[in-house]
Amino acid sequence: MRDKAVKYFLLEAGNLSAFTGKFFSKWFKPNYETSEFLKQCYVIGVGSLPLVGLTGFIMGLVLTMQLRPFMIDYGVESQLPAIVGIAIVREIGPVITALIFAGKIGSSIGAELGSMKVTEQIDAMEVSGTNPFKYLVISRVMATTLMLPILIIIGDAISIYGSYLGINIKGNTSLQFFWSQLYDSLEFRDVLPAFIKTYFFGFAIGIIGCFKGYNSNKGTEGVGKSANSAVVLSSVAVFILDLLAVQITDLMGFN
């Protein structure tokens, strides 16, 4: 039983790697599906903005209000914008947004591609002369890879605004002072590694969703299963990539 599980895990890892390899080998080749890519960008990027904005806003507000009593205990209440800003930009913004994104987009890609697979639309597409991999997978993965960083930047901004409101619930800080305190504490080493890792998050979410959907089977039951496992796996992938990212930046001395 255990052997089987290990074997299955290794098989999945191998298949995912092969799928990723196929993505890169097909990516450069011409016949770009530009209009499908733009459509996916719209659905993935603009469609997720309200959700990301809401979670980001609440996260910033709540984080500020939760940290406030302890900052007062240590007598560093004035550093609240700096602490919250760094926490949001470095870690909470990217990871929370990526998880929400994985929940929304990972599942939708998994379910969409899965249902296309089990209803043999993908096979039909191949017969009709369209490259289904290029049309479905590459456009979606590129869209998630490029849209998630932008979503995270906007989410960070909304989150920081939420934090500003959170500070003003009990204190009184002008937006200008908040702004200068925030930028006094932020540095490139806070922003750049956090920004770069979001591309990897987006890529991982897109490629896992597509892989799970593209390899879906066993009928309609398989569609739900692939959607579910796409969300779970991409969420775990986000955390693993986050761990890798912090270790790499630490090694490079940017932390």
Partner 1 sequence: MEKKTTDNIKLGAFVISGLSLLIILLYMIGKNRNLFGSNLIIKARFENVQGLKSGNNVRFGGIDIGTVDDINFVNDSTLEVNMRIENNMRNIIRKNAIVSIGTDGLVGNKVINIISTPGKSAKIENHDLLPSKKAIDTDEMLRTLYKTNNNVASVVEQLKTTTKRLNKSTGLWKLLADESIYDAIKKTSYNLKSSTQSIKNSSISINEIIQSTENGKGALGLLLRDSNFRADLSTGMENLQQATADIKKAGKDIEKISSNINEAMNSENGMIQVLLKDSIQTNHLKETLLNLKDGTNEMNKIITATQKSFLFRKYFKRLKKKE
Question: Does residue 71 bind partner 1 (CB under 8 A)?
Answer: no
Q: Nearest 5°: phi and psi at 29? A: -70, 145
Shortest Cβ distance from residue 45 to partner 1 (Å)?
5
Q: Which of 5, 129, 188, 219 binds partner 1 (CB under 8 A)?
A: 188
**Closer CB to partner 1, 151 or 223, in the complex:** 151
**Closer CB to partner 1, 119 or 255, in the complex:** 255
Residues near 144 by beta carbon (within 8 Å), at least 6 away in sequence: 44, 101, 105, 109, 202, 203, 205, 206, 209
Question: Does residue 196 bind partner 1 (CB under 8 A)?
Answer: no
Shortest Cβ distance from residue 150 to partner 1 (Å)?
3
- Which parts of 107-126 interact with partner 1 (CB under 8 A)? none
- Which parts of 87-106 interact with partner 1 (CB under 8 A)? 89
Q: Which of 8, 9, 32, 42 binds partner 1 (CB under 8 A)?
A: 42
Shortest Cβ distance from residue 38 to partner 1 (Å)?
6
Q: What is the 3-state composition of the chain as percent helix, strand, coil, each rounded to the nearest 5?
A: 90, 0, 10
Sign of CA dihedral 96, 100, 106, 109: negative
Question: Does residue 187 bind partner 1 (CB under 8 A)?
Answer: yes
Radius of gyration of the chain (CA): 21
**Closer CB to partner 1, 126 or 184, in the complex:** 184
Q: Take residue 44 and report the two structure tokens written for it.
A: 């993935």
Residue 156 to residues 1, 56, 78, 97, Cα–Cα distance (Å): 45, 7, 21, 9
Question: Does residue 149 bind partner 1 (CB under 8 A)?
Answer: yes
Question: Does residue 32 bind partner 1 (CB under 8 A)?
Answer: no
Q: Which of 22, 36, 49, 104 binds partner 1 (CB under 8 A)?
A: 49
Q: Take residue 243 and report the two structure tokens written for it.
A: 């761990």
- Which parts of 236-255 interact with partner 1 (CB under 8 A)? none
Burial of 65 (0-12, 13-18, 19+ CB in 10 A): middle
Contact segment (CB under 8 A) with partner 1 among 1-9, 43-51, 53-61, 124-132 equals 43-51
